[in-house]
């Protein structure tokens, strides 16, 4: 297949590009580089050994997207391009409605104009809000708890509506749990701007010495060790899931909404220990108050993905820590892995 990846130069998009190339698909990337490094395409070409067309454009620019789709006729689009910071979405709602919701509408218009009728969409487990319990199944109620989450739900609904009314032949809404890790080649990974909000990038930067210690946000949750539990998923497993979901919906012309997680909950302290074991580095911690808005425990029931397109995560938390560290260490010029 030939596939256009919006946001394909970003963290999850670049790993998915590598996974698709490995499975013999052709890739075209459309990205405005708002949150991607300029050398990602060259790194991807080194990694895959393939020439990858890159279109520098904004998904809201319908003529540019139509032109890209006409120049590179594709079987499907995988839509990663979005803004993804919860705090920023609350500070600037219109920016998020514009980039995410208007951006997705414009992309869907361009696809309609170019007669592209299949899409895989990056949704998020954030659509479940504070769930009543875990493991979380796809039919749990959705809840909006912040503007980023609202944009994900609206985008999912737009895509489901177009599938229901047969404007799209096939669609997959993929609800990611907590993506972490990096490609084992060390060529691509996540580069957060400024102080990381998320646990794994923060821990990695403590390991390089860029930050003195990790603040553990709360140790009085109702979890085995009192710290927050999440379902971390290796980005390489997540990327493979995109390839399998895409192949499934295109082959069968169906529309699906599925969780992508491992089904395993890992606490903050367990992740710190796994990181120390995998890397041989010590992570100093300080117990801090709970972070507002955090849920105590949150993990997927990923059975539907396995039943539907035969995917299950293969990599464990130590793999995630080792690969995150390899990437972060190489960025920091440390050579001990």
Q: Which of 176, 275, 298, 299 binds ligand NAD (CB under 6 A)?
A: 176
Strand order of the β-sheet with 2-6 is 54-56, 26-31, 2-6, 76-79, 118-124, 170-176, 255-260
Contacts with ligand NAD in 275-294 (CB under 6 A)?
none
**Least spacing, CB of residue 153 vs ligand UDP, in Å:** 16
Give the C-alpha separation, 217 to 294, whole Å: 9
Q: Is 10 in the site for ligand NAD (CB under 6 A)?
A: yes
Non-local (6+) Cβ contacts of 153 within 8 A are: 127, 142, 144
Q: Which of 109, 130, 198, 277 binds ligand UDP (CB under 6 A)?
A: 198
Q: Which of 5, 35, 41, 321 binds ligand NAD (CB under 6 A)?
A: 35
Work out what residue 216 binds among ligand NAD, ligand UDP, none; the CB cut-off runs from 5 to 8 Å by kind: ligand UDP
Contacts with ligand UDP in 120-179 (CB under 6 A)?
178
78 and 3 Cβ atoms separated by less than 8 Å: yes
Q: Is 124 in the site for ligand NAD (CB under 6 A)?
A: yes
Other Cβ atoms closer than 10 A to 141? 9
Active-site entry in 96, 148, 202, 298: 148
**How would you class 307 by CB atoms within 10 Å of its CB: exposed for 0-12, middle for 13-18, buried for 19 or more?**
exposed
Q: Which of 48, 101, 145, 217 binds ligand UDP (CB under 6 A)?
A: 217
Residue number with CB closer to ligand NAD (102 or 337) = 102
Q: Which of 22, 42, 109, 197 binds ligand UDP (CB under 6 A)?
A: 197
Residues binding ligand NAD: number (CB under 6 A): 26
Is residue 148 among the annotated active site residues? yes
Work out what residue 202 binds among ligand NAD, ligand UDP, none; the CB cut-off runs from 5 to 8 Å by kind: ligand UDP
Q: Which of 5, 27, 36, 305 binds ligand NAD (CB under 6 A)?
A: 36
Q: What is the dihedral sign for C-alpha 280, 282, 288, 291?
A: negative
Work out what residue 327 binds among ligand NAD, ligand UDP, none; the CB cut-off runs from 5 to 8 Å by kind: none
Q: What is the Cα 66 distance to its own chain's centre? A: 25
One character per residue 128-167, x = contact with ligand NAD (rule: CB under 6 A): ----------------------------------------
DSSP string, 54-88: EEE--TT-HHHHHHHHHHS--SEEEE------HHH
Q: Is 179 in the site for ligand NAD (CB under 6 A)?
A: yes
- Secondary structure element (H or E) that encloses residue 260, with its range: strand 255-260
Give the C-alpha separation, 93 to 50, whole Å: 39
Give the C-alpha separation, 242 to 118, whole Å: 13
Q: How far apart are the first and last CA of the chain?
A: 36
Return residues touching ligand UDP (CB under 6 A).
Answer: 178, 197-199, 202, 214-217, 228, 230, 268, 291, 294
Which sequence positions are flagged as catalytic? 148
């Amino acid at each position: 297949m030939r596939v256009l990846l919006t946001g394909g130069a970003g963290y999850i998009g670049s790993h998915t590009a590598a996974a698709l190339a490995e499975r013999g698909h052709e890739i075209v990337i459309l990205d405005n580089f708002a949150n991607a490094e300029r050398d990602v395409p060259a790194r991807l070409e080194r990694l895959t050994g393939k020439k990858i067309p890159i279109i520098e454009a904004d998904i809201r620019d319908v003529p540019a997207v139509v032109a890209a789709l006409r120049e590179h006729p594709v079987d499907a689009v995988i839509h990663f391009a979005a803004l993804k910071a919860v705090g920023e979405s609350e500070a600037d709602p219109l920016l998020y409605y514009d980039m995410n919701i208007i951006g997705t509408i414009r992309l869907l218009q361009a696809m309609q104009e170019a007669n592209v009728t299949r899409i895989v969409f990056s949704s998020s487990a954030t659509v479940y809000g504070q769930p009543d319990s875990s493991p979380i199944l796809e039919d749990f109620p959705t809840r909006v708890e912040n503007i980023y989450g609202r944009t994900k739900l609206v985008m999912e609904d737009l895509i489901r509506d177009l599938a229901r009314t047969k404007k799209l032949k096939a669609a997959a809404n993929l609800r990611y749990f907590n993506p972490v890790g990096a490609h084992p080649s060390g060529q691509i990974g996540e580069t957060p701007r400024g102080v990381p909000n998320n646990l794994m990038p923060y821990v990695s930067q403590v390991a390089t010495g860029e930050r003195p210690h990790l603040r553990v946000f709360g140790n009085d949750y109702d979890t085995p060790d009192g710290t927050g539990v999440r379902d971390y998923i290796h980005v390489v497993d997540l990327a493979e899931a995109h390839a399998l979901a895409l192949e499934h919906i295109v082959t069968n012309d169906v529309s699906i909404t599925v969780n992508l997680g491992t089904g395993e909950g890992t606490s903050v302290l367990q992740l710190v220990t796994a990181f120390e074991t995998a890397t041989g580095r010590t992570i100093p911690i300080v117990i801090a108050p709970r972070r507002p808005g955090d849920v105590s425990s949150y993990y997927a029931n990923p059975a539907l993905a396995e039943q539907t397109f035969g995917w299950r995560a293969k990599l464990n938390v130590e793999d995630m820590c080792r690969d995150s560290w390899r990437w972060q260490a190489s960025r920091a010029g440390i050579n001990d892995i």
